[in-house]
Amino acid sequence: MTDKAVSVLLLGGGGREHALAWKIVQSPDVARLCALPGNDGMAALSKVSCIAGDPADATLVLAKAQELKADLIMVGPEKPLAAGVVDVLEKAGFAVLGPIKAAAQLESSKIFAKQFMTEFDVPTAPYRICGSYAEAAEALKGWPVEDKGIVIKADGLAAGKGVVVTHDRAEAEKTLHDFMVNPACQVKSERILLEEKLSGREVSAFALCDGATFQPLGYVCDYKRVRDGDEGPNTGGMGGYAPKDWPSAKARRFVNEKIFASVIKGMQDRGTPFRGILFAGLMIDGDNVKVIEFNTRFGDPETQILMPLIDGDIVPLFLRAAKGELKSEKVALKESAAVHVVMASEGYPETFGGGMVLGQRIELPESMLEPGVNDNGLLFVMGAKKKDGGWTNEGGRVLGVTALAGTMEEARDIAYRTISGIRFKGAHWRKDIGKNR
């Protein structure tokens, strides 16, 4: 418990922020939460108000923080971090849970992250950095694409669309051309990263960091490909689950000691302490653990899985981390299994624009958005808006359902039963989330 009523400013307006708001307002310490810009699902929560505006506009965010006298500012998406919003807020004396711009490069630049991992002995896949299309095309010629595969990554932020993994040389060549030359492609990058394709099982690990230390927040397995069986193009995430008995205790110790601790120390050594959420995308093959990439904030949809699993009040921990005072505080997690399924719009994902069918009326039981009605079938709003008393889809990923239960099978059953009660034209979702894992 804190000694005063807490005012929170939350930046972002997607499903991740809806889940964060849902958890934060459960704290008895929180008097109000203002979301910038928020969404209509968040607006249905008690204590929550939404403010129009761009969360990457540092001048606007600072003005709102001063107006609200915010005790805690939580940064949801990556763009405000890459834009240096945290730097401006911290300079003005606010407690912010999110890294400064220099530390956020772990996500905003794939090349920076790779060079950082090399410098501080964080295990990752071998790679090559290419500074031009001609250099990348030449490097690709000698790459054993058909035999070993290749991972092609755009250097900057690309909303989950800037990574292609393939064994097809023609696809690899087209990807390079699209990312670096094709003006019609939404992903644009002047530098490109070519990586060896890792084998094993993928998982995301999360840690709450205060600049000097960290506390683990849990593990989530997500599904990036749009169709069942991991077919189709990469997306921002079609769902996921929290594995109960994996990774092993040995692997988790390795992650803590050789990855999270190494990043925290490396950032300190560089004079850019990392405060906020560190998200490590990992590939685990037996006892061999390697980092695929880092994100410097909570993931979407991973947050919709993690927040319902956190046992107890998270706000005091967020506050202490933001102030650099986390120390030995531990995050308690429920023993439940958790499954999250995303409903997407027709045409999602699109790389070249104009292909999604939006503005469709959503048939949605309103009671699903009422807090406390059903803690085992939680609905989080991602790309939907309320219009004229009803809901419409306004983005690629529209809604997500999280279910908690004693077993993975029970959680899957609840999630898919809940999803079946929601309808809109063109809606699609994976049917294999958490299956056979």
Of 306, 292, 297, 340, nearest in space to 85 by CA: 297
Query: What would the two tokens of residue 18 be?
Result: 């809806």
Could you tell me the pTM of the whole model?
0.92
- 285 lies in the same domain as 361: no
CATH, residue 343: 3.90.600.10
With bands split at pLDDT 50, 70 and 90, how would you rate the model's confidence at 191? very high
- 170 lies in the same domain as 217: no
Say how many domains are in the chain: 4
What backbone torsions phi and psi does residue 313 show, to the nearest 5 degrees?
A: -80, 120
Q: 107 lies in a domain?
A: no
Q: Helices marked H in 4-100 — which ranges?
A: 15-24, 40-43, 58-68, 79-82, 85-91
Reported as a single tens digit per residue, the pLDDT across 194-213 is 999 999 999 999 999 999 99
Is residue 36 within 8 Å of 58, Cβ to Cβ? Answer: no
Reported as a single tens digit per residue, the pLDDT across 211-236 is 999 999 999 999 999 999 999 988 88
* Bond before 37 cis per omega within 30 degrees: yes
- 203 lies in the same domain as 301: yes
Q: 183 lies in a domain?
A: yes
Tell me the CA distances in angstroms from 199 to 24, 75, 421, one per residue in order: 37, 33, 37
Q: Name the domain boundary from 322, 350, 371.
A: 322
- 75 lies in the same domain as 172: no
Q: 16 lies in a domain?
A: yes
- 384 lies in the same domain as 407: yes
What backbone torsions phi and psi does residue 155 show, to the nearest 5 degrees?
A: -70, -40
The predicted pLDDT at position 35 comes to 98
Q: 18 lies in a domain?
A: yes
Q: Is 153 exposed, middle or buried (0-12, 13-18, 19+ CB in 10 A)?
A: buried
* Sign (positive or negative) of CA dihedral 125, 131, 133, 136: negative
Reported as a single tens digit per residue, the pLDDT across 397-427 is 999 999 999 999 999 999 999 999 999 999 9
Tell me the pLDDT of the chain averaged across its residues.
93
48 sits in which H/E element: strand 48-50
With bands split at pLDDT 50, 70 and 90, how would you rate the model's confidence at 370? low
Question: How many CB atoms lie under 10 A from the CB of residue 355?
Answer: 13
In whole angstroms, give the CA distance from residue 380 to residue 368.
9
Contacts of 98 (CB under 8 A, 6+ apart): 73, 74, 75, 80, 81, 85, 86, 104, 275, 276, 277, 296, 297
Pairing of strands 390-393, 384-387: antiparallel
- 178 lies in the same domain as 226: no
Query: What would the two tokens of residue 261 be?
Result: 């601790």
With bands split at pLDDT 50, 70 and 90, how would you rate the model's confidence at 373? very low
* Mean pLDDT along residues 107-112: 93
Contacts of 32 (CB under 8 A, 6+ apart): 7, 8, 47, 48, 49, 68
Expressed as residue numbers, the domain containing 180 is 127-195
**In the block, residue with structure tokens 């990469």:** 234
In this structure, of 159-163, 179-183, 184-188, 226-230, the range with the lowest mean pLDDT score is 159-163
The predicted pLDDT at position 388 comes to 87
Tell me the CA distances in angstroms from 64 to 24, 30, 59, one per residue in order: 19, 18, 9
- 146 lies in the same domain as 222: no
- 205 lies in the same domain as 293: yes
Q: 434 lies in a domain?
A: no
- 209 lies in the same domain as 307: yes
Three-state DSSP class for residue 66: helix
* Bond before 273 cis per omega within 30 degrees: no
In whole angstroms, give the CA distance from residue 182 to residue 176.
9
In whole angstroms, give the CA distance from residue 67 to residue 78.
24
CATH, residue 272: 3.30.470.20
CATH, residue 169: 3.30.1490.20
Count Cα neighbours of 407 within 13 Å in the Cβ-side half-sphere.
Answer: 5
With bands split at pLDDT 50, 70 and 90, how would you rate the model's confidence at 352? low
Q: Name the domain boundary from 296, 322, 348.
A: 322
With bands split at pLDDT 50, 70 and 90, how would you rate the model's confidence at 372? low
Tell me the CA distances in angstroms from 185 to 16, 43, 164, 194, one per residue in order: 26, 34, 14, 19
- Give the strands of the sheet with 390-393, arranged side by side: 361-362, 390-393, 384-387
Q: 140 lies in a domain?
A: yes
Reported as a single tens digit per residue, the pLDDT across 262-310 is 999 999 999 999 999 999 999 999 889 999 999 999 999 999 999 999 9
Reported as a single tens digit per residue, the pLDDT across 9-38 is 999 999 999 999 999 999 999 999 999 999
Pairing of strands 72-75, 96-97: parallel
Q: 29 lies in a domain?
A: yes
With bands split at pLDDT 50, 70 and 90, how would you rate the model's confidence at 391? very high
Q: 30 lies in a domain?
A: yes
What backbone torsions phi and psi does residue 96 show, to the nearest 5 degrees?
A: -125, 130
* Mean pLDDT along residues 168-197: 92
- 188 lies in the same domain as 211: no
Q: Give me the percent of the chain exceeding a pLDDT of 90.
A: 84
- 281 lies in the same domain as 230: yes
CATH, residue 81: 3.40.50.20
- 218 lies in the same domain as 260: yes
Question: Which residue type, as a one-letter code, is found at position 80?
Answer: P
